[in-house]
């Protein structure tokens, strides 16, 4: 089950993992099955685990006072699921993270990942590069949400994450884009006519 994580780390690192480093990772990341609709994290809990998704799909969202869900992150294979603020600051989360599909993940704690950073340079390199990409993606998403019309937000999403269109229903994608499902339906119909 650890193969995809080892490949992921090696893809980000300039120096491949050694055999002993692979064993450390295998001993630190614990396999976990999460059933569809089962919570990985609930609002109010402290996020104790960082999850690498081996198989499946998850979503991170908040729920407003009217009960509407607001999707902040979608994750599939070779993506990570975590409420970073809660995980780092050890504060109660304002998010829920649940499995959208039956999911197999590899979990680690903050203490364990920090310990691995002290022992595995490739993991530190991966984390740095991952943080850079995450920061750039968040900046682009923020700019799109305040600057782009709904049509452009959807077309950019479809171009960047075409696999998400097959894995998540329209109402989830609409929430992620900050538009109504009716608006998304209209946009998709217009795009099909072109």
Tens-digit pLDDT profile for residues 89-100:
999 999 999 999
- Is residue 182 in some structural domain? no
The values of phi and psi at residue 171, to 5°, are -65, -30
- Is residue 151 in some structural domain? no
- Is residue 148 in some structural domain? no
Distance CA 9, CA 6 (A): 5
User: What is this structure's pTM?
Assistant: 0.92
Q: What range defines the domain where residue 116 resides?
A: 3-122
- Is residue 159 in some structural domain? no
8 Å CB contact between 139 and 40: no
Distance CA 11, CA 126 (A): 8
Please write the tens of the pLDDT for every residue from 41-69. Answer: 999 999 999 999 999 999 999 999 999 99
Distance CA 61, CA 23 (A): 34
- Is residue 179 in some structural domain? no
Quote the number of domains for the chain: 1
Please write the tens of the pLDDT for every residue from 115-160. Answer: 999 999 999 999 999 999 999 999 999 999 999 999 999 999 999 9
Please write the tens of the pLDDT for every residue from 159-172. Answer: 999 999 999 999 99
- Is residue 129 in some structural domain? no
Token pair 């055999």 is found at 19
Q: In what order do the strands lie in the sheet with 103-109?
A: 30-34, 103-109, 49-55, 80-81
């Amino acid at each position: 089950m650890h193969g995809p994580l080892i490949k992921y780390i090696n893809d980000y690192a300039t120096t491949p993992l050694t055999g002993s480093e692979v064993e450390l990772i295998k001993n630190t990341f614990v396999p976990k099955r999460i059933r569809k609709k089962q919570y990985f994290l609930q609002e109010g809990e402290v996020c104790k685990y960082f999850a690498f998704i081996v198989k499946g799909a998850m979503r991170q969202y908040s729920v407003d006072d009217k009960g509407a869900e607001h999707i902040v992150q979608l994750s599939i294979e070779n993506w990570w699921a975590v409420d970073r603020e809660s995980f780092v600051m050890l504060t109660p989360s304002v998010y829920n993270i649940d499995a959208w599909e039956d999911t197999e993940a590899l979990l680690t704690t903050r203490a364990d990942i920090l310990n691995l950073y002290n022992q595995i340079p490739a993991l530190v390199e991966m984390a740095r590069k991952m943080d850079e990409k995450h920061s750039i993606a968040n900046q682009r998403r923020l700019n799109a949400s305040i600057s782009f019309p709904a049509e452009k937000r959807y077309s950019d999403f479809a171009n960047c994450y075409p696999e998400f269109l097959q894995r998540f229903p329209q109402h989830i994608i609409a929430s992620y884009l900050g538009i109504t499902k009716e608006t998304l339906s209209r946009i998709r119909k217009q795009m099909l006519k072109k």
